[in-house]
Amino acid sequence: MRTFLESLLAFLARAVVRRQQPLIVGITGSVGKTSAREAIRAVLDADWDVRAAPKNYNNEIGLPVAIIGGRAPGRSPWRWVALLARGKWYAAVRGLRYPEALVLEYGADHPGDLSYLLRIARPHVAVVTAVGAAHTEFFKSVDRVASEKRKLVSVLSRDDIAVLNRDDIHVWAMTERTKARVISYGTHEDADVRGIEYRVTSGAQGVRDKEQGTTGGFVLPGGMTFKIVAGGATVPVHLPGCLGAGHMHAALAAAAVGLGLGMHLVEISHALRQYQPAPGRMRIIPGIKETALLDDSYNASPLAVAVALHALEQRTVPGRAIAVLGDMLELGTLTIQEHERIGRLAAAQSLAYLICVGAASRQTAAAARAAGMPADRILEFSRAQEAGRFVQDLLAPGDVVLIKGSQGVRLERIVRELMADPLRAPALLCRQDRAWTA
C-alpha cells in the first residue's frame, strides 16, 4: 500500500515529466545499473544538459525525487515540504534550467515494482544490463526476475531505443518483447557495440620490503583499457581507478546509448574519460602495506560476485589475490545453492586466501573446501570488524584484496580498516553518511 505522500510525490513527478519533456534514459538489471548510469551520464554530458539519479534513487521514492531534483526527504517534514514545493513549481512552469536529459535507474525488489515506476516516467531509451539471481526471495526464480526487468523495454514505442546486453541470454531474449530499435552491446561477436582487447593497466611501483633486504618492485593495478568496435570503427578507452568486465560493459552500454542518439564514436571515447565508478563498485583503492583494494562492497548477488572474482583473477600483477566475500542476501530458497556455487568458483581461482563473512557464507567456505581449496586458506567470520582485523595482519606488499558482500553485511567497514588513507573514506566509500555511520 502506497502512502499518501508517496502517491503525491509520484503525481508531481509525472507532472514534471509532462511539463519539462526531458529525454529519459532508463536503466534496469540485476547488476551494473549504477555503473551504467554513471557511464551514460559521462557520455551524454558531452552534448546534453544531463542529470543522473544520485546514490541508489531507484525506487518508489527515489525515482520521483531524481526527476524533481534534490534529496530524499526521509522523515523530515521540512524536506518533504521543500521537495513537494519544488515538484509543484517544475510541474507548472516549463524551462527554469531543468535538464534536457535524465538518466534514471528502475529498481525492482518485488513483483510489480517496475510497473509502478513506469507509470511515473516511461523512458525513451531503455538499457537492460543483466539478469541473475537477485531478490529471488520475492521473485522465486530468475525467469520471474527477467519477466519483471523486460517491462522496461516492453513499454517502448517504435521511435524509442532498446539497448540490450548481447552477452546475457535473458536480456537478449527481450528483443522479442519490444517494438523499439534494438542496439546490442557486449563482447559477443555479433554485438553492435563490441568490447575487445580488455586488459589491466599497472599503477604504483616501488620497493617490496626493505627489512627483508629485497629490492623487487611491487606492482598494483591502476585501471583498465579496452577497445570499442562499432559501425566499422574502433576506438580505445582507458578507465583508471576501476577494474573488471562490469565497468567495460557499463562503458559499452553508454556508447550504445550515445550512438543511438547520434553521437560520434570518437566523441564517446573522449567523454568516457570522465567516467568515475560509484563508491563500492569495483573501485581500486590504495591499501595499507602497499596493497590494492578492489572495493565492491556496495551489494552482492551471485552474478555480481562471479564477475568480481573473474576480475580479481585477471589482475595481471604479481601479488597475492585475497577474496573477502560476505553473505548474498534476499536469495530465498536459492541461498544455499548459490553460496555453494560461489564457493566452488572461488576454489577454482588462484586465491591465496578466501575470507567468508556471515552465516550464509559458511556454505561458501564449506563448498570451497569440498572443491579442494586448502582448509587453512579458508577463514570464516561472523562480523565484518573481525574479518577486517584478521586481513590487516595477513597483508603483504603487492597483495590485491577483493571485498564484496550484500549491504546488510556492511563490508565497507573492512575497506575503511584496510585503506591507506581512511580520511578519504567519506569521499570514496559507500554508506558513509550519518544515517549509516551513527
**CATH 3.90.190.20 location in the chain:** 283-437
**CATH 3.40.1190.10 location in the chain:** 1-277
Chain mean pLDDT for the chain: 90
Mean pLDDT of 77-89: 91
Opening angle at CA 388, ends 385 and 391, nearest 5: 155
Looking at residue 315, its pLDDT comes to 80
User: Are 108 and 114 within 8 A, CB to CB?
Assistant: yes
Cβ neighbours for 251, distance < 8 A, ≥ 6 positions apart: 39, 195, 226, 228, 237, 239, 272, 275
175 vs 200, residue with greater confidence: 175
Whether residue 214 has pLDDT greater than 90: no
Looking at residue 428, its pLDDT comes to 94
Phi–psi pair at 225, nearest 5 degrees: -130, 155
Cβ neighbours for 284, distance < 8 A, ≥ 6 positions apart: 203, 220, 221, 222, 223, 241, 242, 243, 292, 293, 294, 295
Band (133; pLDDT cuts 50, 70, 90): low
Whether residue 211 has pLDDT greater than 50: no
Opening angle at CA 27, ends 24 and 31, nearest 5: 165
Three-state DSSP class for 121?
A: coil
Whether residue 130 has pLDDT greater than 50: yes
* CA–CA gap between residue 295 and residue 238 (Å, rounded): 19
- Residue 165's beta-bridge partner residues? 185
Mean pLDDT of 23-35: 93
User: Are 64 and 10 within 8 A, CB to CB?
Assistant: yes
Whether residue 362 has pLDDT greater than 60: yes
- Least confident piece of the model among 44-48, 162-166, 219-223: 219-223
* CA 393 to centroid of chain Cα atoms: 30
CATH code: domain 1-277 is 3.40.1190.10
Three-state DSSP class for 353?
A: strand
Three-state DSSP class for 125?
A: strand
Looking at residue 218, its pLDDT comes to 65
Nearest 10 degrees: CA dihedral of 109, 299, 256, 119?
Answer: 20
Looking at residue 74, its pLDDT comes to 81
DSSP state of 123: -
- Least confident piece of the model among 17-26, 155-164, 177-186, 218-227: 218-227
* CA–CA gap between residue 187 and residue 165 (Å, rounded): 9
User: Are 42 and 143 within 8 A, CB to CB?
Assistant: no
CATH superfamily of 283-437: Mur ligase, C-terminal domain (3.90.190.20)
Whether residue 204 has pLDDT greater than 70: no
Cell of 197: 582487447
Looking at residue 391, its pLDDT comes to 96
Nearest 10 degrees: CA dihedral of 93, 95, 98, 99?
Answer: 140
Based on DSSP, count helices (H) and strands (E) in the chain, helices before strands. Answer: 18, 15
Whether residue 135 has pLDDT greater than 90: no
- Lay out the sheet containing 181-186: strands in order across: 50-52, 101-105, 23-28, 125-128, 161-165, 181-186, 193-207, 217-230, 233-240
Looking at residue 254, its pLDDT comes to 98
Cβ neighbours for 426, distance < 8 A, ≥ 6 positions apart: 432
Q: Where are the beta strands (DSSP E) in 327-368?
A: 353-357
* CA–CA gap between residue 299 and residue 409 (Å, rounded): 9
Q: Which is it for strands 283-287 and 291-296: parallel, antiparallel or unpaired? A: antiparallel
Provide the percentage of residues in the chain whose pLDDT is more than 70. 94
CA-to-CA separations, 388 to 39, 182, 405, 413, in angstroms, rounded:
31, 45, 13, 8
Tens digit of each residue's pLDDT (9 = 90 or more) over 405-427: 999 999 999 999 999 999 999 99
Cell of 353: 586466501
* CA–CA gap between residue 105 and residue 36 (Å, rounded): 9
Band (298; pLDDT cuts 50, 70, 90): very high
Kind and range of the H or E run holding 10: helix 4-20
84 vs 436, residue with greater confidence: 84
Phi–psi pair at 103, nearest 5 degrees: -110, 110
Three-state DSSP class for 60?
A: coil
- Highest-confidence range of 54-63, 76-85, 367-376, by mean pLDDT? 367-376
